[in-house]
Amino acid sequence: MTGDRLRRAVVALLVVVAVAAPAATSDYVRALSADAMWSGLLVLSMVVLTGFVGQISFCQYSFAAIGAFTVGSLVSGHHWSFWLAMPLGVAFAGLVGVLVGIPALRLSGLFLAILTVAVALFFDNYLLAPGTWNSFSGGLSPWQPGRPAFLGLGLSGEYAFYLFSLAVFLVCTLLVWDLRTGKVGRVLRAIRGSELAASTMGLNLTAWKLTAFGLSAAIAGLAGALSAVRIGSVSAPSYDFVHSISLAAVAIVMGAGSVGSAAAGGVFLVFGRYVLQQLSISSQYFNLIVGAGLVLQLVLTPQGLIPSMTQRLSTRFARRTDGLAAPVPAEGVNA
């Protein structure tokens, strides 16, 4: 079995487990599993921006807020169908991502981080603040969008909505994986490696970087749209700057360059707090644990936890395969 076949087999096994395991759990755990899926989409949005282009963002939850509040205001406030409000929220988030990307074109590192922090604080303290744009933010009363039906099947049940969220996550992950392994991925990696060299090759850096910002924001907006109907309530504190900081840290710890980090990061973001609660430990310690993990990751596995584990498993499997394939000398034959 080659490395690619092994990877496909492991992914297939994980998908089967992801479908079957929540069926034997409580509705509360199923709801958390759905939260892990849209949180995984947020990590995936970081993979597109940070892993592919090498740009950092501390405002991904702001993009998610656009998708969530668009769905909340249109579904709850204007009685739109979720299937019309959701793509509009995703497109709106992607457009805002492009607008944020325009001043970020000539920025990198600390200056880009400061720009995205400023965007997140603008959302927290102005755009989503009560009294600024109540028709969008809902003012002091959070929007309460109901769950939709899909192909005639209601998604009000926790397991049904989890399966829907899982399907959306898998489709988005597959699309990002296809981009990563195709021409787009090669172009974005070239830009990340050296913008000067990429420009010399004739690549349009402006168009490609704005595309990455827009795609990343659109995925985050989709995550926000799912969170709005999963939770059934849309309020500004759920999408604040602190959440974006935790997201960026988890994405880096898991490995922002790996698509597989999206699932691991989403599960960790949700069930990490759940495990702390089960151990009677305040969830406030979660960010402290993430910070400590970030320090250890930078020292021990600079490429991230998931890429490091994948590389080690592949190496061990290759050694075992080579050992099994080694020829055995025939008995009675002298050297």
Residue-wise pLDDT tens digits, 19-37: 999 988 999 999 999 999 9
Choosing from 184, 206, 239, the residue where a domain stops is 239
202 plus 288 within the same structural domain: no
Question: How many domains, the chain?
Answer: 2
- How far, in Å, CA of 88 to CA of 72, rounded? 12
Return the SS3 of 124.
Answer: helix
Q: How confident is the model at residue 131 (pLDDT cuts 50, 70, 90)?
A: confident
Q: Please tell me the predicted confidence (pLDDT) of residue 53.
A: 82
Please provide the DSSP assignment of 206-272 as one string: HHHHHHHHHHHHHHHHHHHHHHHHHHS-B-GGGGSHHHHHHHHHHHHHH-TT-TTHHHHHHHHHHHH
Residue 296: domain span: 241-314
pLDDT of 305 > 80? The answer is yes
93 plus 171 within the same structural domain: yes
Q: Which string of b and e fits 15-27 if b means at least 16 CB within 10 Å?
A: eeebeeebeeeee
Average pLDDT over residues 221-243: 94
255 plus 142 within the same structural domain: no
- Pair of tokens at residue 187: 């172009």
pLDDT of 166 > 90? The answer is yes
Mean residue pLDDT of the chain comes to 86
63 plus 109 within the same structural domain: yes
pLDDT of 8 > 90? The answer is no
* pTM for the whole structure: 0.89
- Which residues neighbour 222 within 8 Å (Cβ) at sequence distance 6 or greater? 41, 67, 86, 89, 90, 93, 168, 172
- How far, in Å, CA of 298 to CA of 21, rounded? 33
- How far, in Å, CA of 254 to CA of 260, rounded? 9
288 occurs within a structural domain: yes
- Pair of tokens at residue 113: 């981080």
% of the chain exceeding 90 in pLDDT = 50
298 plus 217 within the same structural domain: no
Element (H, E) at 10: helix 3-20
pLDDT of 275 > 50? The answer is yes
Q: Please tell me the predicted confidence (pLDDT) of residue 334.
A: 47
Q: How confident is the model at residue 335 (pLDDT cuts 50, 70, 90)?
A: very low
Q: Please tell me the predicted confidence (pLDDT) of residue 209.
A: 83
Average pLDDT over residues 53-81: 93
Lowest-confidence range among 18-32, 119-133, 216-230, 297-311? Answer: 297-311
190 plus 300 within the same structural domain: no
Q: Please tell me the predicted confidence (pLDDT) of residue 180.
A: 81
Choosing from 173, 207, 239, the residue where a domain stops is 239
Residue-wise pLDDT for 60-71, tens only, equals 999 999 999 999
% of the chain exceeding 70 in pLDDT = 92
Between 214 and 110, the higher pLDDT residue: 214
Q: How confident is the model at residue 325 (pLDDT cuts 50, 70, 90)?
A: low
Lowest-confidence range among 67-71, 201-205, 295-299? Answer: 201-205
pLDDT of 241 > 80? The answer is yes
Element (H, E) at 154: strand 153-154
pLDDT of 274 > 60? The answer is yes
Q: How confident is the model at residue 322 (pLDDT cuts 50, 70, 90)?
A: low
Query: Distance between terminal CA atoms of the chain?
Result: 32
148 plus 257 within the same structural domain: no
Q: Please tell me the predicted confidence (pLDDT) of residue 245.
A: 92
121 plus 252 within the same structural domain: no
Average pLDDT over residues 300-306: 83
